[in-house]
Amino acid sequence: MDLSLSIITIFLPLLTFFVLGLLGMKMPKKTAGLIGTASMLVTTIVAYGVALNYFFNPDFMVGGVREAQLVFNETWLTMGENLKVSMGILVDPISAMMLIVISTISLMVHLYSLGYMHGEKGFQRYYAFLSLFTFSMLGLVVATNIFQMFIFFEMVGVSSYLLIGFYYQKHSAIAASKKAFIVTRFADLGFLIGIMLLAYYCDTFDFQTLMSNPGAIVGSSAGVTFLGCSAASWAMALIFIGGAGKSAMFPLHIWLPDAMEGPTPVSALIHAATMVVAGVFLVARMFPVYLATPEVLELITATGAVTALYAAIVACVQTDIKRVLAFSTISQIAFMFTALGVARPELHEGVGYMASMFHLFTHAMFKGLLFLCAGAIIHMVHSNEMDQMGNLRKYMPITHITFLIACLAIAGIPPFAGFFSKDEILVAAYENSTLWGVWMSVVAGLTAFYMFRLYYRIFWWSKPDYSHHTPHDCEWVMTLPLILLAVVSCLAGFIPFGHFVTWNGENYDIHLNWTVAGTSIAIALVGILVATVLYRKENSVPDRMADSVKGLYKAAYRRFYMDELYQFVTHKIIFGIICKSIAWFDHVIVDGTMNMLAHMTNNASYAIRKLQSGSIQFYVWVYFIGALLLGVVTFMLLI
């Protein structure tokens, strides 16, 4: 399919948004859902066509390098003489891959939601917002310049805000949506300042111009330092902060667990597979420029590694199944960031970059699957809490099998998809330094543990009271996406990913490094084994273990008090001190000065008013005194 058709993938969802948003309330719910899904199906077909054409058409290979194709690029806003913001479509390996990921997951979610959201108030609105999100996300990945990316960063932020707050009568949903928006906005502030610095030093937003001379920013800002770091490092680090906010990296991760207040399919689409990887995508897009500022890559590695460990520990003790999945998402995205951070062209041909993108791809599939399974379970059990579940394998066999496949994939057991991508990440980490290698291996083990803890708690453990109604597998619109995604999760690992996506467009063959792979399989198996021992049958061992390290357990359960810290800073310091004192200043000092001026004028007129008494006798008195004085003065002067 011709690449220029990719414009359909952008505008069809937008059109759907307008149709459903403006006319949705007038049409029956079913029609609205079908319109949304049908338009998404067309979008998916076109996206696949475009991506496959790009990957398999030899015309796009020039000298062994897969060249980026600029399909459209129209000036949208003229800023300075050279500075223009364009809107366009750039098809290159990562954007083509993202087209596939986004359209696949989005289609699955559209289909799934027909069943999941059945009978909800605002069904049409839900589909309108889903289309808006799909539009924004696709616009983000095909961005031709960093400013277009920023624009769509904001757009996905708003779509996410609207979808998290879908149940707008629930206080928790409103608070969560607000938190998500403000935290990511705060990160976008960093992104914006980074863009401003970049534009100042490079005088362009365009990705291709930036990539053609990745060292330009370092060169033109040479000698400018701030707090001991060069201006170029600051710019790139600030742009990374924008990505870290969207991708929920520590310490900006706090919005993601709360974002689970949204409908579960939304969590699958936005908060697991697509929007949260926007940050990874951003860093990958700018990767050559990041290579010019290696200290920022170190920062990215460190952030990724810390986040991966933190989120994995927290995920081990959460009891809300969506929260576990949320922290697992944070941890897995941190894996991708670490992979990018440790990637160097000289180390194993930049395998980290490829590994990161590969993991992004596989993770989107199996994490989307996990969320959709969780949605099916919640749909049946009407609760997010593990305690309300157990033994569900008997009641929901399809969900059980697909969930198990996804768990095996994320734990890194061959031949499921996660094994291959995670193995490449570990290879890249070991190449960079043993510290990061060991660190990430430990996190991989924890991943296996908490995922199987979740699995056993849901599908094994005890048998709760399902007497009022028996859970069962959902209707076909909900199970079909599960099956499809499970198939992808089984097979995606065998895609020769290095042939499609590498940091410089050259082909790269994936070789399994059996030392690393063997270790990681062994660690994963240990994790699974521990989980099996502890959680297969209902017992009191986990509780006793938790009691023995009560303080640590509680801290981890409360997510190491990060939310409380933010609460303190925002409510007590920003609202309580800064805002209140400014309001006081405004009321007392600024207003007070004006009122005081008014009072002074008033008082002065009252004082002067006394002279205008209207009493002729007083006037005469003053007149004579005056005349007398005048006479005396004249007399003195004459003498």
What are the residues binding other proteins (CB under 8 A)?
75-80, 83, 147, 151-152, 154-155, 158, 161, 165, 168-169, 171, 174-175, 177-178, 181-182, 185-186, 188-189, 192-193, 195-197, 199-200, 574-575, 578-580, 582-583, 586, 590-591, 593-594, 598, 614-617, 620-621, 624
Supply the minimum distance, in Å, between the C-beta of residue 148 and other proteins.
Answer: 9
| Closest approach of other proteins to the CB of residue 580, in Å | 6
3-state secondary structure of 320: strand
DSSP element (H, E) containing 556:
helix 550-557
Torsion of CA 191, 197, 199, 201, to 10 degrees: -150
Beta-bridged to residue 91, according to DSSP, are 69
In the structure encoding, which two tokens stand for residue 198, read together?
């970049």
Report residue 67 as tokens.
Answer: 């060249």
Min separation Cβ 203 and other proteins, Å: 9
Strands 229-230 and 225-226: antiparallel
Indicate the residue among 156 and 268 with the shorter CB distance to other proteins: 156
Of the two residues 434 and 613, which places its CB atom closer to other proteins in the complex? 613
Strand residue runs (E) in 335-473: none
Decide whether 232 or 524 has the Cβ nearer to other proteins. 232
Three-state secondary structure call for residue 71: strand
CB of 475 to other proteins, least distance (A): 30
Residue with tokens 């310490």, as numbered in its chain? 251
Min CB(151)–other proteins separation in Å: 4
Using the minimum distance from each CB to other proteins, give the nearer residue, 540 or 612. Answer: 612
Pairing of strands 61-62, 229-230: unpaired
Q: 565's torsion region: left (phi>0), alpha (psi -120 to 50) or beta? A: alpha
Give the whole-angstrom CA distance, residue 226 versus residue 199.
Answer: 18
* Residues contacting 401, CB < 8 A, separation 6+: 486
Residue 188 to residues 145, 192, 495, 551, 625: CA-CA distances in angstroms?
A: 16, 6, 34, 35, 77
Report the nearest approach of other proteins to the CB of residue 274 (Å): 18
Task: State which residue, 48 or 200, has the beta carbon closest to other proteins.
Answer: 200
Q: 100 and 111 in contact (C-beta within 8 Å)?
A: no
Shortest distance in whole angstroms from residue 444 CB to other proteins: 36
97 phi and psi angles, rounded to 5 deg:
-65, -45
Instruction: Say if strands 69-78 and 65-66 run parallel, antiparallel, or are unpaired.
Output: unpaired
Amino acid at site 613: S
**Nearest-10 crossing angle of helices 434-459, 321-342:** 160
Q: How far is the CB of 341 from other proteins (least distance, A)?
A: 26
What is the closest distance, in whole angstroms, from the C-beta atom of residue 75 to other proteins in the complex? 7
Q: How far apart are CA 296 and CA 290, in angstroms?
A: 7
Block residue for tokens 């365009």? 206
- The alpha carbon of 39 is separated from its chain's Cα centroid by a whole number of angstroms, namely 25
Q: Which is nearer to other proteins, 275 or 313 (CB)?
A: 275
User: Which CB sits closer to other proteins, 70 or 155?
Assistant: 155
Q: Are 380 and 400 in contact (CB under 8 A)?
A: no
Shortest separation between residue 124's beta carbon and other proteins, angstroms: 12
Give the nearer residue to other proteins in terms of CB position, either 529 or 589: 589
Whichever of 270 and 365 has its CB closer to other proteins, that residue is 270
Q: Which is nearer to other proteins, 25 or 65 (CB)?
A: 25
Q: How far is the CB of 286 from other proteins (least distance, A)?
A: 18
Q: Which is nearer to other proteins, 470 or 617 (CB)?
A: 617
In order of 256, 276, 502, 525, 567, the CA distances from 417 in angstroms are: 25, 20, 18, 16, 39
Q: Which is nearer to other proteins, 549 or 630 (CB)?
A: 630
Tokens for 368? 């989307």
CB 86 to other proteins: min, Å: 11
